[in-house]
Structures are given as structure tokens and as C-alpha cells.
């Protein structure tokens, strides 16, 4: 969204949040580059930027402005001179997986999840089935919700959403499975999947993953609002609650074992229902919560990424404060 891959297509409403993430990542990398400037292993950081965006990156970052239609050429050229790429892109439409494969084919290291892990998590229905088979409690995710009609006691509603959507893209809550089914078929077509609405606390986990293991960096509160049935993520409070009994850390470990291709910063959306965590989806990349991790942890989360596969000890990760990250496009719409 920020790197010029959109060509001449209109910049999306979620652009401000994508730019917030990019600036946070570049800020953290710039600090590492400064710290290593006189070492035997200096770090040079470059970024691609859509020509329509201002080139106001962190000091020490080299920015290559991508003209309309020039993304492929610019990326090919940069890959010839790069050792590693920290890629953040939506997993919908196979974008993240195909770009990861392209980077790997050029001989560069991807500082993120494997293409196989990205594809395994991009489909909400397939990911829920896979995790459930590995003993992870997940929200039921079906292609047809009509069997729930009258068969699920105290059903509080049904959410229809794209199977490979990101964020709260095109998500609506309906009172009955029949209503959700009708809207999903008409609007989303084959992309539609359906989940029962669960009353509980909406949370996300910020994980650092490597080789089938994980470190829990933060437990975040997701502020989801409903307007005329539409669901919108309004803000995220990073490090909103502790994990004193280690339940959520063990959940992260179980997900990492089930999907050993997860690598680097990973987000997990879940609902806490009567103290039990139920997984909604897995995001095999850095999420908006990354923007608040540095302040919450009082350390540089990019350094943790570059130190993988060595994971930080949980005793060294003691978040000192909560940080609220607003979603700019939702605030503008309000």
C-alpha cells in the first residue's frame, strides 16, 4: 500500500495505518543502523515509496520513490543489492505469499513467515480447521452457516466476512444464519465464510515466532465497534493486560507448533470467553499493534526480529505501560 505496488490505482482508506506501521518499522531499523554504524556488521536500510506519498522517513533511511507502474522494476533492482527484506503486505489475494516467493527466488532472506505458512493462514476457514486438528480452540468457521439455524442454542448472531480478508474488511453481523448466508452469497460470493458471534473480550497477541516456538510480546485489546451491522476496528491498546498464568503464552506456542513456518512478528486475533481463549485468525506478519510495541516493551522490537532464531526470554519481556494505537481511517470516517 505504501511501496508503490498499487501503481495508478487509488490509495486505499487504510493507507494511514499502513504508513504508521512502515514508519514504526523504519524508525526501529534506523536506530539499529545507527548503533551498528562503526561495527564490523553495519546495517544499511532502504525502502520503496509510492510517488504520491511524502518521503519523510527516519534519518539514515534511503528512500527509493516508485513511479506509477514502476514497482516490479524497482523491486527487481533492489533485490539484486539486498540481503534481506522485511515484507509487510496483505495476505488476501495471495499478495504476501507471492511476494515472499519472489524475494526468496532472488536469493534474499525474508524476515517473515514462509509462503507456505502465509497460505495456510490466509484462509480463515482452512486455518481454523488446521489449528483445531492440532488442539487449538478456534471459532467455528463455515462456508455455509444454515445448519446453525435452530441447531445452536443461544446463537447471538452470525458474522459474514471474506475468507482471506484483512482487518475488519467487509465484515457484517446478522441476527440469523439465513440473513448472513443471503448477504454473503450476494456480496462476497465464494469468498464468504461465516462465524458465530461470541460475547467476550476481543484481544490480539503480538508474537515473535521461529522454528515452531514463540515469545509473547504483548496481549492487546481490540476496540471493535458495530454500526448498522458493519464491524470496524477502531483502535488497539497494546499491552492491555498481563498473562500471569501463562495461558496465552502456551496458546502462542501451540499455534507456532501447528504452523512451524511462522517466523518473525505474528498477530493472533482471539476472543476471551469466560477466561477461555478462542482463536479467530492468525496474521503471519507484523500488524498495527507493532506501532505500540516499542513504547510498551521499552526495547526495540526490530532488534528481536534480527536476532532470530534466538527468542527472547520471557523474563526479559516485562511490558511497562499500555499504548493505544488509533486507526486513522476509522477516525476519519467518524
Residues 276 and 151 in one domain: no
Count of the separate structural domains present in the chain? 3
* pTM beyond 0.75: yes
Residue 135 phi/psi, 5-degree rounding, is 85, 15
Residues 261 and 167 in one domain: no
Residue 1 counted as domain residue: no
> pLDDT 10s digit of each residue in the chain, 334 long?
899 999 899 988 788 888 989 999 999 999 999 999 888 889 999 999 999 998 877 788 999 999 999 999 999 999 999 999 999 998 888 999 999 999 999 999 999 999 999 999 999 999 999 999 999 999 999 999 999 987 777 889 999 999 988 777 789 999 999 999 999 999 999 999 999 999 999 999 999 999 999 999 999 999 999 999 999 888 999 999 999 899 999 999 999 999 999 999 999 999 999 889 999 999 999 999 999 999 999 999 999 999 999 998 765 676 678 898 887 654 333 2
In tens, the pLDDT along 26-77 reads 999 999 999 998 888 899 999 999 999 988 777 889 999 999 999 999 999 9
Residues 98 and 20 in one domain: yes
Helices of type H across the chain:
15-35, 71-79, 95-105, 115-122, 124-133, 177-183, 247-258, 290-297, 301-306, 328-333
Residue 7 counted as domain residue: no
Residues 73 and 106 in one domain: yes
The position carrying cell 505474528 is 266
pLDDT, position 333: 33
DSSP 201: E
pLDDT, position 316: 64
Residues 264 and 132 in one domain: yes
Domain holding 240, by residue range, is 122-138+200-333
pLDDT, position 244: 86
Residues 79 and 204 in one domain: no
CATH number at residue 126: 3.30.470.20
Can you read off the three cell numbers belonging to residue 81? Answer: 543489492
Question: SS3 of 39, please?
Answer: coil
In tens, the pLDDT along 97-111 reads 999 999 999 999 999
pLDDT, position 331: 38
Residues 32 and 111 in one domain: yes
Residues 283 and 304 in one domain: yes
CA distances to 44, 265, 305, 308, 324 from 32, in Å: 9, 17, 11, 15, 25
Q: How many whole angstroms separate alpha carbon 161 and alpha carbon 172? A: 7
Amino acid at each position: 500500500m505504501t511501496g508503490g505496488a498499487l501503481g495508478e490505482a487509488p490509495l486505499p482508506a487504510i493507507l494511514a495505518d499502513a504508513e504508521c506501521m512502515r514508519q514504526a518499522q523504519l524508525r526501529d531499523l534506523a536506530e539499529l543502523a545507527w548503533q551498528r554504524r562503526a561495527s564490523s556488521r553495519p546495517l544499511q536500510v532502504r525502502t520503496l515509496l509510492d510517488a504520491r506519498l511524502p518521503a519523510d522517513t527516519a534519518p539514515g533511511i534511503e528512500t527509493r520513490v516508485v513511479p506509477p507502474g514502476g514497482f516490479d522494476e524497482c523491486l527487481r533492482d533492489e533485490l539484486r543489492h539486498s540481503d534481506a527484506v522485511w515484507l509487510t503486505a496483505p495476505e488476501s489475494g495471495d499478495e504476501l505469499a507471492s511476494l515472499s516467493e519472489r524475494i526468496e527466488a532472488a536469493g534474499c532472506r525474508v524476515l517473515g513467515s514462509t509462503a507456505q505458512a502465509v497460505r495456510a493462514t490466509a484462509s480463515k476457514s482452512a486455518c481454523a480447521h488446521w489449528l483445531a486438528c492440532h488442539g487449538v480452540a478456534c471459532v467455528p468457521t463455515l462456508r455455509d452457516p444454515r445448519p446453525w439455524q435452530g441447531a445452536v442454542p443461544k446463537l447471538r448472531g452470525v458474522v459474514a466476512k471474506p475468507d482471506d480478508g484483512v482487518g475488519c474488511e467487509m465484515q457484517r453481523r446478522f441476527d440469523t444464519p439465513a440473513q448472513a448466508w443471503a448477504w454473503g452469497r450476494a456480496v462476497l460470493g465464494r469468498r464468504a465464510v461465516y462465524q458465530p458471534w461470541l460475547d467476550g473480550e476481543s484481544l490480539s497477541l503480538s508474537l515473535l515466532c521461529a522454528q515452531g516456538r514463540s515469545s509473547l510480546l504483548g496481549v492487546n485489546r481490540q476496540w471493535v465497534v458495530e454500526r448498522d451491522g458493519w464491524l470496524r476496528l477502531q483502535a488497539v491498546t497494546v499491552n492491555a493486560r498481563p498473562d500471569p498464568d501463562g495461558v496465552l503464552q502456551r496458546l502462542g506456542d501451540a499455534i507456532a507448533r501447528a504452523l512451524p513456518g511462522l517466523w518473525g512478528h505474528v498477530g493472533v486475533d482471539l476472543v476471551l470467553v469466560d477466561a477461555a481463549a478462542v482463536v479467530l485468525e492468525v496474521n503471519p506478519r507484523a500488524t498495527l499493534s507493532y506501532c505500540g510495541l516499542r513504547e510498551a516493551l521499552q526495547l526495540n522490537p526490530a532488534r528481536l526480529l534480527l536476532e532470530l532464531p534466538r527468542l527472547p526470554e520471557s523474563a526479559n519481556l516485562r511490558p511497562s505501560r499500555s499504548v493505544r494505537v488509533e486507526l486513522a481511517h476509522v477516525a476519519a470516517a467518524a
